[in-house]
Amino acid sequence: MHRFASSAAVNSLRKAIAPFVAIVFLLVGTDGFAQHPLPVNDNDWAESEASVFLEEEVTQIFVTMDEHLLDEFMQNPYLDTYVDATVRIVNSVLDETHLNVGIRPRGNSQRGSMKFPWKLSFNEFVPGRKFHGIEKMNLASESTDPSMARESLAYEIFRSFGVASGRTNHVWLTINDGSKVQGVFNNIEQVDEEFVQAWFGKKDGDLYKCRWKDQGARLLWTPPGDAATYRNLGDYEEKITDSFQRLADFIDFVCNSDDPTFNAGIGGWINVDSFLRAQAVDMYLGQWDGLWIFPNNYYLYWDTESQRFEYIPWDLDHSMGMDYWFLPYFWGTDWARRPFAGWGDSSEASKPGNGNGPPLIDRLLKIPEYESQLARNVKEIAAYHGHPSRLTPSVERIFNLLAPLAYTGSFSGSTMENGYQPQDFLDSWEFPSDYSSFNNPATWGVLPFLRTRSDYVRSNYPDPSVQPSIYVNEIVAKNETGITDEAGEYEDWIEIFNNSSQPVDLSGFFLSNRYADTKEWEIPAGTVVPPNGYILIWCDGEVSQGPLHASFSLDKNGEGVYLFSPESSKNVWISSLVYPALNADQAWGRLPDAGFNTAQLAFPTPLAANQTGSLDLVKEGFVPDAQVLHALGATPDGRVAFLWSRKAGSFPIGSGIPCAGTTLSLGSPVFKGSVQKADATGVASVTIQPNVAPAGILVQCLDVSSCEVSNVIEF
């Protein structure tokens, strides 16, 4: 029934992205950037992760409903009333049929599309019912995006950068016999009380859905500015408490406080770091349908534990070069080359003022520390989270999943927006190859946009102010038999590392085990980390036992540890280490010290270099940019050879040279790339300059002193 993509088309995409293939990290369990940890300890989130949001396959959803009611929806997709349906959901782990499921159209502007989105509600007619941890499915049509992938990739980048945001998975939806509705949709996780419970631990705060109905969700003060004012505006909808007082108070503070009051107090109203991270992702992706440009499609949640708002992104398909009208939305907007300064100028959100966006963003960016943090965030995304090489596995996965299905079923050609057909899906990844104001609605192909944007941001965006080179480097969250504190007690601990040749004074900095609580424990005056040295902080909640005993403890089931600057420098984020569930005496840390990669260590290494317990090879950076290879666990002060080949194999080292008889996991011929001396901690590093290493080569290192060989990584 489905038309499958030709092998030539698949190979064409692979050739296009081959120069951007990333090295595989065999050691790394997570990365060192994430802020809001994924809520893996929430039972509903974990269940839906295992059963519903399966990214590696296309789930099949079969809906059976009254044909006359389906016709009513097809004729008027703006109807908001749920009707009864029977739903069967099939994937690799389940095949279930549920009665009395609510179904209706959803969305805003896309309801006018030939392929409009749908919503399934499992608890509409059966109160309290969940489908494997979720209550609703938002089946996005992705009708304007020929790749049907931008939204999933955008959500992936938000989560990678530590912003609380939804999960996605593609589905094949069939309603009744499929003659009217059958095709690929994208299941987007609902932002509701279950979502905030998973991410923030509670669901008793206000949850505002912010959208474009009347004047747009600009967070702009509207007289008389009381709760009723915003309740009556169609731009804001409260989803949990039905109270608008908190929103009214927040908008009043943002718009009407004087500069000293705003500058001193905004951090008590909203998680500024998380907010700036979200805006940085929007800035990088050219995602113009959030607060900053076209004030629409985001949520604000009042976290009752931190007593701050959290910004939650939503509806991200207008990104990565997606634009509209005969000429693009803002009269010729090349989102890939949009500069940092004035990024939000001339937007709907900046009206009626003259600033760089809505009042909240405009006022935040007048504070140098926050403007610098935003620049730091965008450049980090360009170099890592949104780098085309890092996204290559996801691009390949989505392409291979959807190529057999794209624009088949009931949506293709004359029955589809823009006349999209299967070939448009195949073309959308590389076409247009540069900005094209006359190729609408997509002004860029997905991959050219990512390449151009990553290069442009790294080359043209301002360098942020210099922060201290200080890192949360290692944690032990359940210390039972390791080191003891001054009282002889086995307490949890954090190691902080100074990766510079100058001492760093941490007086007045703050440590926290909760990202939104930026002032949980203030580091005492006189706390100095020596050059290239370490300090330990005990996490036992017993501050009376000594100056380096924090007021909090660590959760062995996984959380994060966060370091923030003093209040005098706006309490901005400096470093963090997010870790998973750990057993007794297990350590989690950076590899190498201060590195990007994090993993479980072979054993705790308090006040010493982190160790893996074997010779291991890890990489920082992406092809075709400069990369650094680190050999960990080598003989201290010994020599390490970095060897490479174009293929895997079993290559014995010949006689007459060091380590004769040792077998490499490389195929002949094998080449010597570099020989480096390990430092006193057993780390040897080599920098690979841009465009030197061809895609597809395999690299392995050899400890010349012990003849131990490492794992193999691929460029």
Whole-angstrom CA distances from 7 to 11, 56, 408 are 6, 19, 18
Q: Indicate if the pLDDT at residue 76 is higher than 90.
A: yes
- For the segment 405-418, the average pLDDT, to the nearest whole number, is 96
Which residues have C-beta within 8 Å of that of residue 444, sequence separation ≥ 6? 320, 321, 335, 336, 432, 434, 435, 436, 452
Which residues have C-beta within 8 Å of that of residue 656, sequence separation ≥ 6? none
pLDDT of residue 108: 83
Whether 648 is in a domain gets the answer yes
Q: Indicate if the pLDDT at residue 607 is higher than 90.
A: yes
Domain co-membership, 374 together with 251: yes
Whether 525 is in a domain gets the answer yes
Domain co-membership, 478 together with 586: yes
pLDDT of residue 574: 96
Q: Per-residue pLDDT tens for 101-136? A: 999 999 888 899 999 999 999 999 999 999 999 999
pLDDT of residue 23: 32
Whether 181 is in a domain gets the answer no
pLDDT of residue 645: 95
Domain co-membership, 508 together with 591: yes
Domain co-membership, 591 together with 678: no
Domain co-membership, 210 together with 264: yes
Q: Per-residue pLDDT tens for 353-379? A: 556 679 999 999 999 999 999 999 999
pLDDT of residue 252: 98
Helix runs in 27-118, H state only: 43-51, 67-75
Whether 587 is in a domain gets the answer yes
| Residue that is last in its domain, among 367, 385, 403 | 385
Whether 592 is in a domain gets the answer yes
Which residues have C-beta within 8 Å of that of residue 521, sequence separation ≥ 6? 510, 511, 512, 543, 550, 551, 552
Q: Per-residue pLDDT tens for 202-231? A: 999 999 999 999 889 999 999 999 999 999
Q: Per-residue pLDDT tens for 343-354? A: 988 788 776 655
pLDDT of residue 530: 98
Q: Which two tokens stand for residue 100?
A: 């009395």
pLDDT of residue 34: 59
pLDDT of residue 327: 58
Q: Which domain holds residue 683?
A: 616-714
Domain co-membership, 268 together with 298: yes
| Contact in structure between 574 and 568 (CB atoms under 8 Å) | no
What mean pLDDT value characterizes the chain?
Answer: 92
Domain co-membership, 582 together with 628: no
What is d(CA 323, CA 235) in angstroms, rounded to the nearest whole number?
23
- For the segment 128-156, the average pLDDT, to the nearest whole number, is 97
pTM above 0.85, yes or no: yes
Domain co-membership, 677 together with 710: yes
Domain co-membership, 709 together with 628: yes
Q: Per-residue pLDDT tens for 458-475? A: 999 999 999 999 999 999
pLDDT of residue 331: 58
Whether 98 is in a domain gets the answer no
Domain co-membership, 503 together with 576: yes
- For the segment 573-587, the average pLDDT, to the nearest whole number, is 96
Whether 590 is in a domain gets the answer yes
Whole-angstrom CA distances from 70 to 81, 122, 712 are 12, 18, 55
| Residue that is last in its domain, among 322, 352, 385 | 385
Q: Minimal CA–CA distance to 569: which of 514, 524, 510, 503?
A: 510
| Residue that is last in its domain, among 329, 362, 385 | 385
Q: Indicate if the pLDDT at residue 159 is higher than 80.
A: yes
- For the segment 48-52, the average pLDDT, to the nearest whole number, is 98
The CATH number that applies at residue 510 is 2.60.40
- Domains in the chain: how many in total? 3
